[in-house]
Chain A
Amino acid sequence: MRKLTWFNTTALTLGFAFLYLPMVILVVYSFNASKLVTVWGGFSTRWYGELMRNEAFLDAAWVTVKVAVMSSTLATILGTMAAYVLVRAGRFAGRTLFSGMIYAPLVMPEVITGLSLLLLFIGIGMDRGVMTIVLAHTTFAMCYVSVVVSSRLVSFDRSLEEAALDLGCTPFEAFRLVTLPIIAPAVISGWLLAFTLSLDDLVIASFTAGPSATTLPIKIFSAVRLGVSPEINALSTIMIGIVTVGVISASLISKRSMLRQSAEERAADRT
């Protein structure tokens, strides 16, 4: 191991402190026994217990997960289809316009996306609730999925699809049996990305949510306006925990499968 120099140590400490100090404070105070957020009153898990009894938070959490699952699934289907057409269909009339329009929502301010969707839902007389949030999240997450999947499709060996056709597949079978299983990792990471985006979106959800459905970010935001309670700290700590476990296990799995594959390739070349 190389020894870090004085400068490197300082830079590293400052950088990490900047990134993680706020979260460390939040996690520490979630175990605070005192009701006052800024005064340490000893270690306790009482706020976790309180949280479990808070119906409003649990309802909001359930709505959020429902919305995230539905919208990310829809966004993955639509985004994958769009990416496939953009990469595979070659040069058709209006291709440049189409690809530009797919990616435009990436840079569109969320307020505008939210407002325009709100106007649409009012215009067609749709009651605001879970369905409207799902549609809104699908709209803005779809382009992220499309970016992730199309970058995988660009490096995809076209002759694999031709081989499938050659062996008797219809174009749809070739996609289902060959293309989809091979690009599955990209599709899954697109789904995860859409899921996270939906999970922590506040702006678009607050435009399109109705009285019947509130998502967790909206709930937290409105609760904090009445004063930060230790319950919210506890809730946030749980969310940080879930995200951390998810990210670490995903990267471990992909790293291990990569190592195994390269080891097997080396073994095959020796025989």
Chain B
Amino acid sequence: MGEKVFAPWTDPNETPLIQFKNVTKRFGEFTAIDNQTFDIYEREFFALLGPSGCGKTTMMRMLAGFEAPSEGTILLGGQDIAPIPPNKRAVNMMFQSYALFPHLSIWENIAFGLKRDGLPKEQIAARVEEMLKLTRLEKFARRKPHQCSGGQRQRVALARSLAKAPKLLLLDEPLGALDAKLRQDTQFELMDIQEKTGTTFVIVTHDQEEAMTVASRVAVMDHGKIIQADTPARIYEMPGSVYVADFIGDVNIIEGRATPAGDGYDIAFAEGEPALHAKSDKKLQAGSTAYLAIRPEKVRISTERPDDLPNVVRGKILDIAYLGNLSTYHVRLPNGQIIKSQTANTRRLSNRPFTWEDEVWLGWTDTAAVLLEG
């Protein structure tokens, strides 16, 4: 084995930095967080991902100290943080709106938290310079926030929240206000800074691509519950439920009846169609409803019937989404089900062997599909 893979959540001897223990948060009748227990480890880049209103922001505000849990406890480094007010926590937050102080210069914004700690002047100046250098803002120190562009403001907000060297940094949709190109660059910058400083980051986002790019683990949330928390690769390749499979990336979901066969199950999904086979360790009752989740890029499309694939269906091309580097084919099966197949456009478009309304074959291996319970 070469370098040790960063995966403290698999090591039972590792003590987590943050522990949520049966945490529930209610606002009046509304339950924002529903009895959640989970751990976040030191040096992790942990992403809370979900649609708006799923409770991800509430989770973060409880860590920052702006909300208190209705039930349960949150431990930070083994200590219950409920009685500690936000200004006494070793936790800093980067706000979605950046919340830069408009009446202070960039330098003073970054120094703000250090001054509150009553550090000596030289020490504050040295730390601010260090932060300016880390975020490449040396030239802008004397400017006011309104004299900076969106990307610069984002970096100021990051520098300010990192200046006090918190144990935990919370980022609330940190890249939401940036345009697509700048956002991509900034994602890598964030990862770089996280690695350099060794701070634990918790990021809240509704952008699944962003979560997949930056995070060591992604927690997919819905209705106040974490549905699945795992590495980006496992979330994508091995979703635990139809919700997660559907929320992350593009997916084909095929519903059918499962019958045990060989090392997995045969799924009968339509009259007159052969059953589809998927490998699985799951224990399903014969005849129960099951779902197959197949990523479009794992479905091969061809004009000839493929001989080497166990799962083969035939259909007609309904639509083609051409994205330049990729094309997604929407193929309608005789029973009306639409299956998407994505291929890389390695050849010139004019050499493409099929087009709209053509009859094509779709095929995938018996490990391509993930079997999910109904």
> Which residues of A are interface residues toward B (Cβ below 8 A)?
157, 159-160, 162-170, 173, 177-178, 181-182, 261, 264-265, 267-269, 271
Contacts and interface: CB of A to CB of B under 8 A. Distances in A.
Contacts of A170: 87
B147 A268 contact: yes
A166 B87 contact: yes
B66 interface: yes
B113 A182 contact: no
Contacts of B47: none
A163 B145 CA distance: 15
Contacts of A182: 101-103
Interface residues on B, range: 20 to 34
Return the 5 tightest CB-CB contacts between A and B, nearest first. A167-B113, A168-B116, A163-B99, A159-B99, A165-B86
Contacts of A269: 149-150
B116 A169 contact: yes
Interface stretch (B90-98, B297-305, B335-343, B366-374): B90-98
B116 A163 contact: no
B97 A157 contact: yes
B115 to A, nearest CB: 9
Interface of A is mostly: helix
Given A168-B116, A182-B102, A264-B144, 5 more contacts: A159-B95, A162-B86, A165-B85, A168-B113, A169-B87
Interface string B116-155: 1100000000000000000000000001101111101000
B88 to A, nearest CB: 8
Contacts, number: 73
Nearest to B89: A166
A265 B143 CA distance: 11
Contacts of A178: 101
A163 B109 CA distance: 11
Interface string B255-268: 00000000000000
A160 B98 CA distance: 9
B332 interface: no
Contact of A157 (B87, B99, B117): B99
A169 B113 CA distance: 8
Contact of A166 (B92, B97, B117, B152): B92
B217 interface: no
